[in-house]
A and B are shown apart, each in its own frame.
Chain A
Amino acid sequence: MWKDLPLHPEQASTLAQPVDLLYLFLVAVSAFFALLISVLIVVFTAKYRKDRPNATSAHIEGSTLLEIVWTGIPLGLTMIMFGWGAVLFFQQARPPANALEFTVTGKQWMWKAQHPTGQREINDLHIPIGVPCRLTMTSEDVIHSYFIPAFRTKQDVVPGRYSQMWFEANKLGTYDLFCAEYCGTKHSQMIGKVTVLSQKDYEVWLAGGGSSETPAQAGERLFSALRCITCHNNTAGARGPDLAGKFGTEALLTSGAKVMIDAEYVRESILNPAAKTVNGFQVGLMPTYQGQVKEDDILALIAYLKTFGAAKAAASPATGNAAK
């Protein structure tokens, strides 16, 4: 029977073991205090029971020393837990710079994912072992949450903004993917599998996944198809700012403020162009693309802008740090 009762999910990412270690520390501390209190209650109840001979109650007001001790020790322990947990959290929140870039879009009730090379899959994610993978995620409707217990990580997927998560798988196998944020009727069916492949198998898988265009290529196509290029070009008197090599740099706005050109800003500028217009250009000239582009399209455009003119502006960090 105990074989059917494992106490933690498989450890399949570099984050799993550190999380389990922290968990065990907390379990140990909790077990100690729960036992301590239980034993004290049992001992006191037995030893000082009312029907013992000559029972009287001692008059005890309290003890400042004891109060200090039992305030101080828990405080110290919780500070250790807090610090340890915070360090781990920032590790979980900061993807390494060389991570593979995946995009994930949640919608009622499925997970759509796209690989850096353009392959798409639904409710599945195939990733290579030993390589950090970064997921840029958004939702088309309500809040979802991308949760892979074997990797000990999850992140809410929120409509209207991008969230990030990353992991590095270190064990081959197929693991559960759950939606952890209640999202409506079929919430419990918004599940899938994450498959960790060897580097070689991953390449084989990619090759069999249909030769679609990469997100950046799709973005380049959309950049023309949606007529972005009509205004955003490098000609004198262009009606919009040239976007080549701009991603990951700062822009001066009409308001005088500065803004980092990152995924969130690009998204906002496509859907609500008047919100933050670059200095020197007319506010309200660009129409909104709300309703004309899908979340996937915006992600493709962002991927394109990251590479667009990257050669020209080799110095600027093309991967940016939009995440955090």
Chain B
Amino acid sequence: MSSTVLSPSAKASPSSPEGERKTFLNADYGWKSWLFTVDHKRIAVLYLISIMVFFLIGGTFALLMRAELLTAKGDLFEAETYNKLFTMHGVVMIFFFLVPSIPAVLGNFLVPIMVGTKDLAFPKINLLSWYIYIVGGAATLFVAITGGIDTGWTFYAPYSSTYANTNVAGTAVAVFITGFSSILTGLNFIVTIHKMRAPGMTWFRMPLFLWAQYATSLIMVLGTPVLAITIVLLGLERVFHIGIFDPALGGDPVLFQHLFWFYSHPAVYIMILPGMGVISEIIACFSKKRMFGYHFIAFSSLAIAIFGFVVWGHHMFVSGQSAYASFVFSFLTMLVAIPSAVKVFNWTATLYKGQVSLETPMLYALGFIGLFTIGGLTGVFLAVMGLDRHVHDTYFVVAHFHYVMVGGMVMAFMGGMHFWWSKMFGRKYPEWIAQFSSVVVFVGFNFTFFPQFLLGYMGMPRRYHQYNAEFEVLNVLSSAGASILGTGFLMTICYFIWSLKWGQVAERNPWGAKGLEWERAPSPPPTFNFEDGERIVVTEDAYAYTHEEPHGGSLQEARK
């Protein structure tokens, strides 16, 4: 492999004094230049701002819930208000933060640059997806302001279809609309990755971030329509009393659960696979080393995407589903755990004989590995049928999915934002404060969610407004942790905003990272990503931090 084509030093001469260099940020001014932009990077910024708004709203709901749960009695809010809080927290965080977070922000920004092209395959559809997201989000906020919804984010029928007195129909419309924004993003990524890779960017030279985005996009395109159908059916029953799920109308409530989880289980992988892609990029860069087992990591993403579609029944072991169906679902769930384990081992092995440094993105990535390991392993607890009968619908489940969703995806999002911040905005965040904040987030996270495992095994059911006195100690710990976690996130948001104006100007490749976005694109990139007339030709593998030694003893070395 030669690297003659890549000569970053030629153009990476300190860019700070240039001043006048055109970037995607200063290419044009005024609100129209943003709201009518078709530049994938500007759309990524629009998404970033919007999902952060929803993150703050969803986080506020969470803190209010934790305030209520500080005491065993339901003394801060009415039961109905509490039920609305956890429902809105779930709906906002899942559909408006977690699902779009990494794909719509980092994916939108990076996919075209990483494949070495000017934009996504369908720039206008990309903008459309943001508008759809905003319409869905506005509808959700409208529901929240005008009374909320209290069904839980899972919308189980017949409670949602017949009994709830809150705005189920409005929320259903909002979620239905938002689904299309995911489908369009997924479609755009699939086509871009298939058709627009630069010469030399073969499939197995792609950064693992792209593999993860690709696998995620498959789930988005294949799974989201099922959610849309389910929600339409729910709406038909609620509004027109057509019997589909409510047994009083001749329907079957367990059918709703099958349809709902057929999307929502794969959706869990929409919410974690992109994070895994980010972690691969960070680990390689801060170990200055080729990713260990590149092919295994790439294919494990696809394996997760495929297996993820056939395990939905593990949410239903005690629902009345046939025990034999549960048996099969339990078995298949064990299989989906394996590719995740493979990734964890490969990431860890990548550190071996590298040059490891602990800048903020790496702190988040290492935190991710630990927390995701716990989140993944506790998922196995829930997939073991005999055990699930006890821990199902308890705080054990709540703790498990927050370890995956927050400990996993949010940590990865934070890591990714720190990693690519200077690329996106051309300024550096303050490193020391960021390292400190990441520790605050890590500590706060564990204080918040670890006690919930214990609560769950003790038998505290989820979605309880008031609870038995013996659960109080652990709940106080959890609420205290939530305040630390919230502080960590707020600090992060503050210094990011601060850095936009006062941060140190970033050079092209501050981390010494490999990859087209670092070596070939300036920080921030111009509208068409690369400098005028620059032809992107890829001649080496991803993560070419080292070069194969002449005697090729690499495999032996790994075994030691």
Of A55, A59, A84, most buried by chain B (CB within 10 Å of CB) is A59
A-side interface residues, number (CB < 8 Å): 91
**B394 partner residues in chain A, CB cutoff 8 A:** 180
Q: In the bound complex, do residue A158 and residue B253 qualify as a contact, i.e. CB atoms below 8 Å apart?
A: yes
Given contacts A38-B370, A187-B464, A188-B466, contact A62 B354 (CB under 8 A): no
Which residues of B from 324 to 355 have beta carbons under 8 Å from A? Answer: 326-327, 330-331, 334-335, 337-338, 341-342, 344-346, 348-349, 351-355
Chain A residue at minimal CB-CB distance from B334: A78
Q: Which of A6-14, A233-241, A279-287 contacts B (4 or more CB under 8 A)?
A: A6-14
B310 interface residue, CB < 8 Å from A? no
> Are B338 and A71 touching (Cβ within 8 A)?
yes
A157-180 contact mask (Cβ, 8 Å, vs B): 1 or 0: 011110100000000000010111
Instruction: Determine if A211 is an interface residue (Cβ-Cβ < 8 Å).
Output: no
Interface size class of B (residues with CB under 8 A): 35 or more
Q: How many angstroms between the C-alpha atoms of A5 and B473 in the bound complex?
A: 8
Q: Evaluate contact between B370 and A153: CB separation under 8 angstroms.
A: no
Please report the C-alpha to C-alpha distance between residue A62 and residue B163 in the assembled complex, in whole angstroms: 56
Q: How far is the CB of A225 from chain B (nearest CB, A)?
A: 24
Residues of B within 8 A of A62 (CB): 292-296, 346, 349, 555, 558
User: Measured between C-beta atoms, what is the minimum distance from A127 to chain B in Å?
Assistant: 18
Contact A44 B352 (CB under 8 A): yes
Contact of B352 among A49, A60, A154 (CB under 8 A): A60
CB closest chain-B residue, reference A49: B356
Asked if A59 and B548 sit within 8 Å, CB to CB, the answer is yes
| Chain A residues positioned under 8 Å from B80 (CB to CB) | 185
Partner of B83, one of A23, A40, A187: A187
Residue A74 at the B interface, CB < 8 A? yes
Assess whether B390 is interfacial by the CB under 8 Å rule: yes
> Could you say which residues of chain B place their CB within 8 Å of the CB of A50?
288, 355-357
A158 in contact with B320 given A51-B357, A149-B459 (CB within 8 Å): yes
CA A245 to CA B265, docked complex, whole Å: 46
Tell whether, in the assembled complex, residue B357 and residue A60 are in contact, meaning their CB atoms are under 8 Å apart.
no
Asked if B457 is at the interface of the complex by the 8 Å CB criterion, the answer is yes
CB-contact partner of A108 in B163, B289, B378, under 8 A: B163
A189 CB–B CB distance under 8 Å = yes
B373 within 8 A of partner (CB): yes
> What residues of chain A lie closer than 8 Å to B248, measured between beta carbons?
159-160
Q: How far is the CA of A78 from the CA of B79 in the complex (A)?
A: 40
- On chain B, the residues within 8 Å of A150 by CB distance are 459
Jot down 30 A-B pairs with beta carbons below 8 A, ordered by A: A7-B454, A7-B458, A19-B389, A23-B457, A30-B380, A34-B377, A41-B370, A45-B351, A48-B353, A57-B288, A62-B292, A62-B294, A62-B296, A67-B293, A67-B296, A78-B334, A87-B386, A89-B330, A149-B458, A150-B459, A154-B318, A156-B319, A159-B246, A159-B253, A160-B252, A180-B394, A187-B464, A187-B465, A188-B461, A188-B466
What 5 new A-B contacts, CB under 8 Å, besides A79-B334, A82-B384? A48-B354, A50-B288, A61-B294, A108-B163, A159-B247
Q: What are the 8 closest A-B residue pairs judged by CB atoms, nearest first?
A: A160-B247, A149-B459, A88-B386, A85-B384, A89-B385, A44-B351, A62-B293, A58-B353
